């Protein structure tokens, strides 16, 4: 499909900006493992503090990159499947909000005035520009979503009896989750934190702020994940040379994500006071519910891949696996997606451990948690973003991929790195190694009386894996920017691989409409969250004044 010059440039900017920032994010990823393993015993390197770097690593990799990519990929998906380009004014507004917001937040973090990590738990206080910038980034993504919703409603009016393409359902489900969950964090930031950080209000209810954050914070992980799921369902079977085993399974999975992604956020707060045990247990069990669409996906994709491999002459119970196109340059996306899926097997299962109510006592806030989420967000999510960004840049600019052989190896190298890294972190976590801690200064500093020898081997494994991940990331930058700056050899276009369904599928109206699902989503969220918010309001004894991360005395408003 041909794309207008305008849309092409918007998508390219939305890929170029976050990938440029990602160089800072990945540099700090490498620095984390170096500090943590006790290779250096310093608070800062090159004037960038450990916790400042950790904030940059989290915000850039997990919020900026993922949001920009979801919007860029959404533009491409909607335009490709509905044959209608987004409204130019809305798209421009969305782009400007996102870029300006990101620059504000980046300036606050780089100047060291927002070292509060990406969860920005109050009463640690950041510069107001950090909160306002993040809010602008989020609002910018809303504008793009509203515009797609209008395009979809108009398209549906003209195609009442046509099944909406699965990729469009996935994109709209994803941004609906995103819109609803970010309402809570927008309230937290704009109503609670910004006036408080400017000194207009005295205190903030910390448990309430945490509850609102996690209303957003867990749905966020599905916002990261669903673009990859769209690729798994609509592209991976085609890339493998086969067909999608069941499109219906994909629809069921996406609508289950819609209703269950949000009302489970309290499973991040099992250790928090002031929230009742019943609420925690309910949301723990709901989390098992949201694992079901992932089980469905694992089966559907495995069945689709087996079908493809048998078409290619694969035989035996498992030997067919070797017929899949693991290292083919023309379908390099296959390598990125399959590695993401392999990592997600471990990522999903460790996620269930974290969500299992009292079992969470073993792992909460230990390095088990980053060990787990590097198998998810740095697994299927990140690999899909890397692969698709190269794919889109090559097609939109009409340039051939730079170093195509290296490009096929990157996802494998990355996967080996993540597996070693996460093994180290999770092992350490089971031995109580804390996350988000500059361990090189104390726990892994033999000169310190707090030296903790148990964590030497686990953090060394983290270092080894992290080093391999850094090399893979570095190679990705070479391929991405190399492709960007090559000579143009073809016309600009978007041509996604499109998987057909293996079986003929009838249109079932319930799975081609949003209304009943949105209603159900609203009811479950209210039932799960009203008691949690009521507990946070009623059981919290006092509000907290702001603190700078460097100073144990509060900042009191000047009277």
Partner 1 sequence: MIDKFERNVIYTALLVSGLFIFSLFYAMGAKKADVTECLPYDKSYETARVNQIDAHTYQIFYVARMWNFEPSIAYIPVGSEVDLFVTSLDVVHGFNIFNKNTNLMGVPGGVSKTTVKFEEPGVYKVVCHEYCGTGHQNMQAEIIVNYPKK
Enzyme catalytic residues:
218, 222, 372-374, 435-436
Residue 456 binding partner 1, by CB under 8 A = no
Question: Nearest approach, Cβ of 484 to partner 1 (angstroms)?
Answer: 36
Please list every residue from 177 through 196 that binds partner 1, using CB under 8 A.
none
Q: Considering only residues 12, 92, 110, 362, which one is a binding residue for partner 1 as defined by CB under 8 A?
A: 362
Question: CA 507 to CA 528: how far, in whole Å?
Answer: 32
Question: Nearest approach, Cβ of 300 to partner 1 (angstroms)?
Answer: 8
Question: Nearest approach, Cβ of 469 to partner 1 (angstroms)?
Answer: 22
Question: Nearest approach, Cβ of 69 to partner 1 (angstroms)?
Answer: 27
What's the Cα-to-Cα distance from 25 to each of 65, 109, 474, 545, rounded to whole Å? 10, 12, 12, 31
Please list every residue from 271 through 290 that binds partner 1, using CB under 8 A.
271-277, 280, 284-285, 288-289
Please list every residue from 46 through 105 that binds partner 1, using CB under 8 A.
49, 51, 54
Please list every residue from 388 through 447 that binds partner 1, using CB under 8 A.
431-432, 434-439, 441-443
Q: Considering only residues 91, 102, 246, 459, which one is a binding residue for partner 1 as defined by CB under 8 A?
A: 246
Local structure of residue 382 (DSSP, 8 states): H
Q: Considering only residues 13, 190, 475, 544, which one is a binding residue for partner 1 as defined by CB under 8 A?
A: 544
Q: Considering only residues 6, 299, 322, 485, which one is a binding residue for partner 1 as defined by CB under 8 A?
A: 299
Whichever of 497 and 554 has its CB closer to partner 1, that residue is 554
Whichever of 54 and 106 has its CB closer to partner 1, that residue is 54
If one counts every other C-beta atom within 10 angstroms of the C-beta of residue 373, the result is 21
Q: Considering only residues 97, 189, 207, 338, which one is a binding residue for partner 1 as defined by CB under 8 A?
A: 207
Whichever of 74 and 314 has its CB closer to partner 1, that residue is 314
Residue 111 binding partner 1, by CB under 8 A = no
Instruction: Using alpha carbons, select from 479, 473, 340 the residue that is nearest to residue 401.
Output: 479
- The Cβ-side half-sphere exposure at 382, using a 13 Å CA radius, reads 28
Whichever of 246 and 261 has its CB closer to partner 1, that residue is 246
Helices (H), 235-276: 236-239, 247-260
Residue 41 binding partner 1, by CB under 8 A = no
Whichever of 509 and 522 has its CB closer to partner 1, that residue is 509
Please list every residue from 476 through 515 that binds partner 1, using CB under 8 A.
503
CA angle at 112 for the pair 108 and 118, rounded to the nearest 5° = 65
Whichever of 143 and 444 has its CB closer to partner 1, that residue is 444
Question: Nearest approach, Cβ of 192 to partner 1 (angstroms)?
Answer: 14
In sequence order, which residues have a C-beta less than 8 Å from that of residue 147 and are 6 or more positions away?
86, 87, 90, 91, 94
Residue 244 binding partner 1, by CB under 8 A = no
Strand partners, 366: 434
222 burial type by CB count under 10 A (0-12 exposed, 13-18 middle, 19+ buried): buried
Residue 109 binding partner 1, by CB under 8 A = no
Local structure of residue 48 (DSSP, 8 states): E
Residue 32 binding partner 1, by CB under 8 A = no
In sequence order, which residues have a C-beta less than 8 Å from that of residue 48 and are 6 or more positions away?
28, 31, 56
The helix/strand/coil state of 544 is strand
Residue 45 binding partner 1, by CB under 8 A = no
In sequence order, which residues have a C-beta less than 8 Å from that of residue 357 and are 6 or more positions away?
270, 280, 281, 284
Question: CA 276 to CA 539: how far, in whole Å?
Answer: 10
Please list every residue from 325 through 354 that binds partner 1, using CB under 8 A.
352
Q: Considering only residues 9, 12, 45, 123, which one is a binding residue for partner 1 as defined by CB under 8 A?
A: 123
Both structure tokens of 222:
């599905």
Alpha carbon distance, N-terminus to C-terminus of the chain:
63
CB 7, CB 86: distance < 8 Å: yes
Whichever of 184 and 532 has its CB closer to partner 1, that residue is 532
């Amino acid at each position: 499909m041909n794309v207008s010059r305008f849309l092409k440039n918007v998508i390219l900017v939305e890929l170029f900006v976050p990938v440029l920032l990602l160089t800072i994010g990945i540099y700090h990823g490498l620095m984390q493992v170096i500090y943590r393993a006790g290779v250096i015993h310093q608070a800062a390197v090159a004037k960038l503090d450990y916790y400042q770097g950790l904030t940059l690593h989290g915000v850039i990799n997990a919020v900026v990159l993922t949001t920009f990519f979801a919007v860029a990929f959404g533009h491409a998906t909607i335009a490709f499947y509905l044959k209608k380009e987004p409204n130019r004014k809305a798209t421009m507004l969305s782009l400007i909000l996102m870029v300006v917001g990101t620059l504000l937040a980046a300036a606050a973090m780089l100047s060291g005035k927002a070292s509060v990590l990406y969860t920005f738990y109050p009463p640690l206080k950041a510069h107001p520009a950090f909160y306002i910038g993040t809010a602008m980034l989020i609002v910018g993504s809303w504008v793009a979503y509203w515009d797609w919703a209008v395009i979809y409603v108009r398209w549906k009016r003209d195609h009442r009896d046509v099944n909406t393409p699965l990729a469009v359902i996935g994109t709209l489900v994803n941004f609906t989750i995103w819109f609803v969950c970010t309402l809570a964090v927008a309230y937290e930031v704009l109503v609670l934190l910004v006036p408080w950080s400017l000194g207009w209000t005295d205190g903030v209810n910390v448990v309430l702020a945490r509850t609102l954050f996690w209303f957003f914070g867990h749905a966020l992980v599905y916002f990261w994940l669903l673009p990859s799921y769209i690729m798994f369902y609509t592209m991976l079977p085609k890339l493998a040379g086969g067909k999608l085993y069941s499109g219906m399974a994909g629809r069921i999975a996406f609508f289950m994500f819609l209703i269950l992604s949000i009302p489970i956020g309290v499973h991040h707060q099992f250790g928090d006071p002031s929230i009742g045990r019943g609420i925690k247990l309910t949301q723990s069990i709901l989390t098992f519910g949201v694992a079901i669409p992932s089980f469905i996906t694992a089966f559907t994709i495995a069945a689709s891949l087996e079908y493809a491999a048998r078409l290619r002459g694969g035989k035996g119970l498992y030997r067919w696996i070797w017929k899949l196109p693991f290292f083919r340059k023309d379908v390099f996306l296959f390598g990125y997606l399959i590695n993401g899926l392999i990592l997600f097997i471990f990522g999903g299962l460790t996620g269930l451990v974290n969500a299992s109510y009292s079992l969470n006592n073993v792992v909460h806030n230990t390095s088990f948690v980053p060990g787990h989420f590097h198998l998810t967000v740095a697994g299927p999510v990140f690999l899909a973003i890397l692969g698709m960004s190269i794919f889109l840049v090559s097609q939109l600019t009409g340039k051939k991929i730079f170093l195509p052989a290296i490009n096929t190896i990157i996802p494998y190298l990355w996967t080996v790195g993540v597996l070693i890294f996460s093994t180290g972190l999770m092992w350490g976590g089971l031995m109580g190694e804390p996350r988000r801690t500059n361990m090189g200064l104390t726990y892994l500093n033999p000169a310190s009386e707090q030296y903790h020898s148990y964590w030497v081997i686990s953090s060394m494994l983290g270092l080894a894996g992290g080093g391999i991940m850094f090399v893979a990331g570095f190679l990705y930058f070479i391929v991405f920017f190399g492709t960007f700056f090559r000579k143009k050899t073809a016309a600009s276009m978007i041509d996604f691989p499109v998987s057909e369904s293996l079986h003929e599928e009838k249109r079932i109206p319930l799975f081609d409409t949003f209304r009943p699902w949105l209603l159900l989503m609203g009811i479950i969220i209210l039932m799960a969250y009203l008691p949690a918010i009521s507990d946070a309001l009623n059981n919290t004894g006092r509000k907290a004044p702001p603190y700078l991360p460097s100073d144990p005395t509060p900042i009191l408003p000047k009277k």
